Chains A and B, each alone.
Chain A
Amino acid sequence: MEFDQYHEPPEELSPELRTKARLFASLAEEAEAINCYEQRLSVEPDAEARSIMANAQLEEFKHFVMDLEFLFRKMPVWREMGEGVLFKEGSIVENGDTAEGHDDGDETNGSPAAVPSGNGVGGSLGIGSLKGAGL
């Protein structure tokens, strides 16, 4: 049985990484479901059917943010990036650059660095949980 959330042989991944992979897959599925309901709601003429689908979409909103928060807690650097962008007024791109530690606009092509450098992001070393890692 194959699981397409893995990009490396699952047996080579730690249990914690496999848990994260499941949550990444769940996050993508919830986003897809929100998108699906958004389109259905836009074309459904029946008011009662729309209210049922709107209710279902609310559940997907909840599931998505719970998945995201779980992953943020497991990946401190990502969480810090989120803190610099989410729920902020102003330009999303500028907030992203600031959170990443670059104010010069060089990273506006959609390919931000995986690990922020410089002094602009928190200062956390991003160590987080090490549970299960042995010698």
Chain B
Amino acid sequence: MNHLLRGHAPITDEAWKQIDEEARDSLVPRLGARRLVDFTGPLGWGHSATDLGRVSATSEAPAESVQMRTRKVLPLSELRAPFTVSRSELEALDRGAVDTDFDSLNEAARQMAVAENAAIFHGLSEAGIEGIAEASSHQPIPLGDNGFQDYPAHIAKAIEVILSSGVEGPYGVALSPECYTGVVESAERGGYPLLQHIRKILQEGGDGPMVWAPGLDGVVVASMRGGDFLFESGQDLSIGYESHDESVVNLYIEESFTFRVATPEAAVALPK
């Protein structure tokens, strides 16, 4: 048994299978940032830091004529979202019920996806993570107040800016839920759906994806050629056991990771 202590939970193998499937189904559609970045790992719960290949300035060591430098690393951040499952619901599941109440699990999954997306796009300053939007070396392209009509032009401009820096595609576009809904619901003046127009622009740029990313503020356009945005997973999204009483089992979703932007020129932020 590892640190997730799943073996201590009063949960049958069949119920664990259902819980894991429910969590996967709830997380995967929301993990928009992972659809744009390079993923390495999982390297294990014991993996604690990403090697940055850099050292501190030289200082004096506690002996004459000896110099000291300290290696720089990026420590992994741990994210954990607790949730509960009713023991009576688990019993019902084992009897064959198909309408198990996993509301608490789904909310935890939503929060984890928001946190991961926000860390990748906007950073986690306390963890030393700089997000794609903040790290971009290009001037942001404001989405403006002219509704969603201008989005195709803004996205095309962002791709041109990245391409002008010598960064090739394919290019992907991440949209906040608000922006995504606006794009899906809107049509251009001639009636052509905005969604189709943006997809056509992306096809021209190498057929990158358009992703829905709760936790993102505005829109981000990024190259997906590889090597520019690096997500390093220690423990990938997992479910562990916390405690239980006579009525509920307390579980959690957990992961550890770092994120780095290797090429600030490879993305443009389009804030609301």
CB of A128 closer than 8 Å to a CB of B: yes
Q: Check: A118 CB closer than 8 A to any chain B CB.
A: yes
The distance from the CB of A71 to the nearest CB of chain B, in whole angstroms, is: 14
The answer to the question of B16 belonging to the interface, with a C-beta cut-off of 8 Å to chain A, is: yes
Are A79 and B42 touching (Cβ within 8 A)? Answer: yes
**Assembled-state Cα–Cα distance A25/B30 (Å):** 33
Main secondary structure of the interface of A (DSSP, over half): loop
Chain B residues closer than 8 Å to A73, beta-carbon distance? 40-41
A10 to B119, CA, bound (A): 35
Q: A119-B11, A127-B31 are in contact. Are A132 and B39 (CB under 8 A)?
A: no
Q: What residue of chain A has the Cβ atom nearest to residue B4's Cβ? A: A123
Total contacting residues, chain A, CB less than 8 A: 22
- Which A residues are CB-close (under 8 A) to B2? 122-123
Looking at the assembled complex, report how far the CB atom of B229 sits from the nearest CB atom of chain A, in whole angstroms: 10
Please measure, in the bound complex, the distance between the C-alpha atom of A120 and the C-alpha atom of B1, giving whole angstroms. Answer: 7
What DSSP secondary structure best describes chain B's contact surface? mixed
Distance A74 CA – B13 CA, assembled complex (angstroms) = 25
Q: Does A125 lie at the interface of the complex (its beta carbon under 8 Å from any beta carbon of B)?
A: yes
Q: Check B39 against A122 for contact (C-beta < 8 Å).
A: no
Whether a CB of chain B sits under 8 angstroms from the CB of A55 is no
- B237 interface residue per 8 A CB criterion: yes
Q: Which residues of chain B have C-beta atoms less than 8 A from A134's C-beta?
A: 35, 172, 208-211
The range of chain B's interface size is 35 or more
A7 at the interface (CB under 8 A from B): no
A68 CB to closest chain B CB (Å) equals 16
Complex: how many Å from CA A38 to CA B40?
Answer: 34
- Distance in angstroms from A102 CB to nearest chain B CB is 9
A133 contacts B27, CB within 8 Å?
Answer: no
> Taking the complex as formed, is B9 at the interface, i.e. its CB lies under 8 A from any CB of chain A?
yes
Known: A79-B42, A118-B16. A127 touches B236 (CB 8 A): yes
B residues in contact with A128, CB < 8 Å:
39, 42, 233, 236
Shortest distance between the CB of A124 and any CB in chain B (Å): 5
- Given A76-B42, A118-B17, also A127-B35 (CB < 8 A): no
User: Contact string, B236-265, partner A, CB cutoff 8 A, digits 1/0?
Assistant: 111110000000000000000000000000
- Residues in A with CB closer than 8 Å to B233 are 128
**Is A127's CB under 8 angstroms from B6's CB?**
no
Q: How far is the CA of A123 from the CA of B113 in the complex (A)?
A: 18
Contact A130 B238 (CB under 8 A): no
Q: Does A112 contact B (CB under 8 A)?
A: no
Among the listed B6, B38, B238, which residue makes an inter-chain contact with A131, where contact means beta carbons less than 8 Å apart?
B38
Cβ < 8 Å to B, chain A residues 82-135 = 101, 117-120, 122-135
A117-B16, A131-B34, A132-B35 known; A123-B210 Cβ under 8 A? no
Residue contacts A-B, CB under 8 angstroms, 21 given: A76-B236, A119-B11, A119-B13, A119-B16, A123-B4, A125-B23, A125-B236, A127-B27, A127-B28, A127-B236, A128-B39, A128-B42, A128-B236, A129-B34, A129-B38, A129-B39, A131-B36, A132-B35, A132-B209, A134-B35, A134-B209
Residues of A within 8 A of B (CB): 73, 76, 79, 101, 117-120, 122-135
